[in-house]
């Protein structure tokens, strides 16, 4: 998926969070069981495996806002 700033991201299907995460969009917690999206940049200088290490867990609304630009 291409986001508003032109970067490519791999994005997971929305699913319940398996543990607690901090959303990079708003800085608030994602509770266990809360619907979330996992996303990571498709084009990493360090390769695809390294890109997975930088995946982030977002509130669905925060991701939609970020992706829209």
Domain boundaries, the chain: 9-68
**Rounded alpha-carbon distances, angstroms, from residue 54 to 38, 47, 51:** 10, 11, 5
Take residue 30 and report the two structure tokens written for it. 């994602």
Neighbours of 66 (CB within 10 A): 20
pTM for this model (two decimals): 0.82
d(CA 14, CA 44): 23
Instruction: Give the tens place of pLDDT for each residue, 1-56.
Output: 788 778 888 898 889 998 999 999 999 999 999 999 999 888 766 666 667 778 89
d(CA 41, CA 33): 24
| Coil vs helix vs strand at 33 | coil
């Amino acid at each position: 998926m291409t986001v508003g700033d032109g970067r490519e991201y791999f994005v997971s299907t929305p699913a319940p969070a398996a543990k607690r995460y901090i959303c990079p969009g708003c800085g608030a917690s994602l509770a266990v069981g809360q619907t979330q999206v996992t996303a990571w940049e498709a084009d990493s200088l360090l390769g695809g495996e390294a890109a997975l290490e930088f995946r982030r867990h977002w509130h669905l609304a925060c991701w939609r806002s970020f992706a829209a630009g």
